[in-house]
Structure 1
Amino acid sequence: MKKALVLGASGGIGYALVRELADRGVEVVAFSRGKEKLHALYQHQTKVTIIPGDALVEKDVIAAADGVDVIFHAVSFPYPEWEEKHPLCIEMVVHAAKKHQAKIALVDNIYAYGRQSHVEVNEETKKEPHTKKGKIRLAMENRLKGSGVPSLIVHLPDLYGPNAENTMLHETLKNVVQHKTANFVGDLKVAREFIFTFDAAKAMVELALREDSYNQNWNIPSAHPITGEEIIDILRKEAGYTKSIRTVSKTMIRFIGIFQPFMREMVEMMYLTEDPVILSGKKYEAIIGPVPRTPYSEGIQKTLHWMQQKMQGNFYRV
């Protein structure tokens, strides 16, 4: 892979992918609608070409994909827009890949697996999504598999890391960094997975560099499942956080959802805070090697530092 396109380059995982690709000497096209944020993030990156555009406009995506070997699909949309925009976006990506004979690497989550009784979910586990958003993600996966385009589908747990602002853990960290009372979404005693975005990007780029990893699903787990209580302990010990942390329950989100469409859409995904899907990394480890696993204490510290730098107006330097 000599050149890659990252769609959604202004988001958390998109940012980590651009950085990882550039660090490996790959020429990168960073694409998203936010021109100002793209410049803030990448204006000092010599391997990165900034192209503002709309992932739902075919000519924009096709133009950005000119000459690339792999298109990384890291575009996210607000929950209320998923049903309308995700199917359209995947079509734009497929058309661009066919036009330029490029491969596709899809950043996926765990929604398509639905409720699972397995201790760890592997790539052969049957996907039976019971939520609207899980069904949308499975439809995206099936569209890629039926497209004839060589594709990677990479399942990741909840994300956290520099620039990863539309995540559950960010809801906690955004107030921690300002030393205000923070919220934690879900039961503090339930162990869940949160993957550091730079670990996810390392694993995904490694897969994208290998010809024999395409036309497969890959699960990339986190360092290990962790409870909210353990995360709070890290914040106390490593970040010196002394304020209280409120627990946000499903009942609270359902009530807020009466007034806010985003929170209303979030209710159906709260099952993941009660009965988490835990990913197995055995396939990756057997074929590729060790899964990148940044300790939570280190990952959280790096994320908080990035957030502090952003508040000071120089977040692109981190």
Structure 2
Amino acid sequence: MMHAVTGATGAIGSALVRLLAAEGKEVRALVRDEEKFKRLLPDVSAELVVGDILNAEDVRETVKGVAAVFHCVNFPLIQFQRNLEAAKVLLEAASAEKPHIVFPGNTWVFGRPARTPITPETPFNPPSPIARIKAQVDEMLMGSGLPVTVVHLPDFYGPGVVNPLVQPLFENALAGKNVTFPGPVDVPHEFIYIDDAAGALLAVAGREECFGKRYTVGGVEPITVRRFVELIYQVAGTQGHVRGMPPWLLRLAGLVNAEARAAAGIMHVFAWDTRMDGSAIQQDTGFVPRVGYKEGIRQTADWF
């Protein structure tokens, strides 16, 4: 049975393609750059649709006849509004055949929760324009009347994850340089290894008992950014110091820099306790994250 992945050259999308193929499932991937896909996944056999997530015809071709579609497109922060357009195009394309839509959510939408850990019942309270867009996409999908499941994931790391938050942590620590993080470094947080993140999405796919539900997924255990980076130093055999940047400094930079302004809109997840409870997804699917921080960091360090 065919499964489709949008955003298939991104970190979570490419991990999903790899896991689906490893399980012997047929995969159709929507990509803009065929050569990039082949570089990332040279040993994976997949049907490729070379196109644009904002092009209705390309998306209809992608979702035609599939059992499930993993909607992993994620525009850069300074273009984040386009995620709303992409969701609209996907819903229109999927309206006829109604495949199961699986969407990776995150912790941005919860803002500062009244209590932790965050559960699927925790209300949204997005504190920034970026977080509000993420919440709107989630609510648009869940309110569509189609079979949809949203899986809220912690920040992920691992081979192929090169976002502006995680990549500098590894590059600097592996080189024995000091690490300056654009937010607090001593608040309890969670990271999830990229294959575990993809596994959580795969766990709900095609399960009717998961239709119309939101799930929250925690990491293997809480950790601070400081301790996470210290583990990178430890694995690499290097030394350095970790320091956090006060939130006001990033907001100040945002007055003159659009990327810094957009980044400031997601850093609240490091200022507040946003740990999540994964008991609901474990109960419904059996999923639990399995890759510990030391092992995940070791594999990521090898990739870098």
TM-score (norm 2): 0.93
Is the Cα–Cα contact under 8 Å of residues 192 and 226 in structure 1 kept in the other structure? yes
| One-letter identity of the residue aligned with 1:303 | T
Shift of 1:150: 0.4
What residue number does 1:78 align with?
A: 76
- Select the residue among 284, 293, 296 that pairs with 2:293: 296
| One-letter identity of the residue aligned with 2:184 | D
- Evaluate the alpha carbon distance shift between residue 306 and residue 152 of structure 1 in structure 2; reply closer, same or farther with a 3 A threshold: same
What residue number does 1:23 align with?
A: 22
Q: 1: distance between equivalents of 2:262 and 2:287?
A: 36
| One-letter identity of the residue aligned with 2:302 | H
- Select the residue among 143, 159, 162 that pairs with 2:140: 143
Q: 1: distance between equivalents of 2:191 and 2:44?
A: 28
List alignment gaps of at least 5 residues for structure 2: none
What residue number does 2:247 align with?
A: 250
- Select the residue among 120, 123, 142 that pairs with 1:123: 120
- Evaluate the alpha carbon distance shift between residue 277 and residue 237 of structure 1 in structure 2; reply closer, same or farther with a 3 A threshold: same
Shift of 1:187: 2.1
Is the Cα–Cα contact under 8 Å of residues 158 and 168 in structure 1 kept in the other structure? no
What residue number does 1:61 align with?
A: 59
Is the Cα–Cα contact under 8 Å of residues 38 and 50 in structure 1 kept in the other structure? no
Is the aligned partner of 1:284 residue 2:267?
no
| One-letter identity of the residue aligned with 1:40 | R
Q: 1: distance between equivalents of 2:231 and 2:145?
A: 46
Is the aligned partner of 1:188 residue 2:200?
no
Q: Once the two structures are superposed, what CA deviation does each residue of 1:156-179 show, in whole Å capped at 9, x if it has no partner?
A: 111111111125222311333444
| One-letter identity of the residue aligned with 2:142 | K
Is the Cα–Cα contact under 8 Å of residues 33 and 54 in structure 1 kept in the other structure? yes
- Select the residue among 198, 202, 213 that pairs with 1:201: 198
| One-letter identity of the residue aligned with 1:73 | H
CA RMSD of aligned residues (A): 1.8
Shift of 1:42: 2.3
Q: 1: distance between equivalents of 2:59 and 2:47?
A: 14
List alignment gaps of at least 5 residues for structure 1: 308-318
| One-letter identity of the residue aligned with 2:120 | E
Q: Once the two structures are superposed, what CA deviation does each residue of 1:211-246 show, in whole Å capped at 9, x if it has no partner?
A: 211111011111111012311321222121224444
Greater alpha carbon shift after TM alignment, 59-68 vs 173-182: 173-182
Shift of 1:27: 0.8
Q: 1: distance between equivalents of 2:105 and 2:164?
A: 14
Shift of 1:90: 0.3
- Evaluate the alpha carbon distance shift between residue 36 and residue 183 of structure 1 in structure 2; reply closer, same or farther with a 3 A threshold: farther
Q: 1: distance between equivalents of 2:135 and 2:228?
A: 31
Q: 1: distance between equivalents of 2:242 and 2:109?
A: 31
Q: 2: distance between equivalents of 1:185 and 1:138?
A: 23
Shift of 1:53: 1.5
For 1:120, what is the secondary structure of its paired residue? Answer: coil
Is the Cα–Cα contact under 8 Å of residues 4 and 68 in structure 2 kept in the other structure? yes
Q: 2: distance between equivalents of 1:75 and 1:178?
A: 31
For 1:144, what is the secondary structure of its paired residue? Answer: helix
What residue number does 1:224 align with?
A: 221
| One-letter identity of the residue aligned with 2:19 | E
What residue number does 2:165 align with?
A: 168
| One-letter identity of the residue aligned with 1:13 | I
Q: 2: distance between equivalents of 1:268 and 1:215?
A: 28
| One-letter identity of the residue aligned with 1:63 | E
| One-letter identity of the residue aligned with 2:298 | Q
For 1:140, what is the secondary structure of its paired residue? Answer: helix
| One-letter identity of the residue aligned with 1:164 | V
| One-letter identity of the residue aligned with 2:25 | V
- Evaluate the alpha carbon distance shift between residue 250 and residue 19 of structure 1 in structure 2; reply closer, same or farther with a 3 A threshold: same
Q: 1: distance between equivalents of 2:62 and 2:229?
A: 42
Greater alpha carbon shift after TM alignment, 37-46 vs 71-80: 37-46
Greater alpha carbon shift after TM alignment, 134-143 vs 175-184: 175-184
| One-letter identity of the residue aligned with 2:226 | E
| One-letter identity of the residue aligned with 1:149 | L
For 2:267, what is the secondary structure of its paired residue? Answer: helix
TM-score (norm 1): 0.89
Q: 2: distance between equivalents of 1:61 and 1:177?
A: 40
What residue number does 1:215 align with?
A: 212
- Select the residue among 108, 111, 114 that pairs with 1:111: 108
Shift of 1:255: 3.4
